[in-house]
Structure 1
Amino acid sequence: MTLATGMRLVGLDGQSFRFDAGTLCLELLLTGGEGELSKWERLHTPGDLADWIPNSRAGLGDLVQVSAGELAATLRLRAALQRLAATAASGSRAFSAADLSALNEAAAAPPPVPVIGPALERGWASPVTGAQFLSMVARDAVEVFGGPALDRVRMCGGERCLLLFLDTSRPGARRWCSMDRCGNRHKLRTRRDRHPAG
């Protein structure tokens, strides 16, 4: 099971960049959301979610079968995760009881079942249901929001950038979604402010 370490994203300005959310539960937020995030919505049908999962760090490949009900449950969990992550990134711990309940409900379902093949390769019992995938996401979120990693949930420091990530850097000093995008823009702005033209 090879895990992805990031995804290629394209901003509204057409710029392509690599983004590592640092953890599966925050990676799910890259599929869209409510309000301003709706312009990036990718999950319109169960097939959209099934197509997205192999690109995630879940390591499930194309084994996941998603029903309409499981897509609806994914959208509910994603909305709760978005609110929890934004709250954590702001430094607050005033989490909504309803959002924590949504997380616990998804985590209560059985996760995917690991198996080992004849060549001693690791894999997953097939098929994997959408509910099992959601359990995997929710259990990851329980680890993030219920443990020491909570203090490392961040929102990109770029202007108008809404990307949330888990700072997995050793010093815990990550500020940007990507140095190739918001980090570079900040450097350019700082340079212009120090050396204004003519």
Structure 2
Amino acid sequence: MTERFRAGAGRLCLDFIRTLRYRGTPAETEELPDERAWGAWVDQFGPFSSPVVPGSSRDARAVREAVYELVTGSLRPASRQRLNRFAASPVPAPSLAVSGELRWQAADPGSSMLALVARDALDLVTSPEFSRVRRCAGERCGALFLDTSRPGTRRWCSMEVCGNQAKKSTYRAKATAP
């Protein structure tokens, strides 16, 4: 499967909030505009073995914004209620297929993925690792990520993209300086 969405933030909930790319900038891009995109995100990040056709993407965007508020410390009461409601929903359940393969199933895969995201967000903000959530230092990025480096000094969400761009900019600036 080709990855359509950015991964690697260190937690499912942080990867999920990246679906509003370049948040707060003129280049802000909604990556979950419809059910097809929401299903593609579930297919990429979820445990299901076959493609998912979830219901409305409206709940997905609402949960994403509630998770963002929670992680950034600006949680409103309605968003807290939304997160708690989705966290209480059923999550995907494992089952053993006749072939011996582990398969995951849910009556409503979209809602069960939102339950996983909401539970992950609640777990993150109540864990010691929450102090290691960082905002990318990339000029245009600003994505949140979990810094798992030993010294806790990681600056970019992705060394391959944002870190590389920052280093290129620094190099160019030095090369053109008088």
TM-score (norm 1): 0.74
> What's 1:67 paired with?
55
Question: Do structure 1's residue 80 and structure 2's residue 69 form an aligned pair?
Answer: no
Q: 1:155 deviation in Å?
A: 0.8
* 1:43-100: CA deviation from partner (whole Å, max 9, x where unpaired): 22222211221122x32244533112xx221111111112223x2xxxxx56444333
State the SS of the aligned residue for 1:115: strand
- Do the aligned partners of residues 26 and 64 (structure 1) sit closer, same or farther apart at CA in structure 2, a change above 3 Å counting? same
> What's 1:152 paired with?
132
AA at the equivalent of 1:24:
L
> What's 2:117 paired with?
137
Q: 1:157 deviation in Å?
A: 1.1
Supply the distance in 2 between the matched residues of 1:81 and 1:187 (Cα, whole angstroms): 31
> What's 1:161 paired with?
141
State the SS of the aligned residue for 1:124: strand
Q: 1:26 deviation in Å?
A: 1.2
Supply the distance in 2 between the matched residues of 1:186 and 1:31 (Cα, whole angstroms): 22
Supply the distance in 1 between the matched residues of 2:77 and 2:151 (Cα, whole angstroms): 32
Number of residue equivalences:
176
* 1:103-142: CA deviation from partner (whole Å, max 9, x where unpaired): 1111011111111223432221255431111101111111
The percentage of aligned residue pairs carrying the same residue is 37
* Structure 2 segments unaligned to the other structure (5+ residues): none
TM-score (norm 2): 0.81
Is the 1:108–1:135 contact (alpha carbons within 8 Å) kept by the matching residues of 2?
yes
Supply the distance in 1 between the matched residues of 2:113 and 2:154 (Cα, whole angstroms): 28
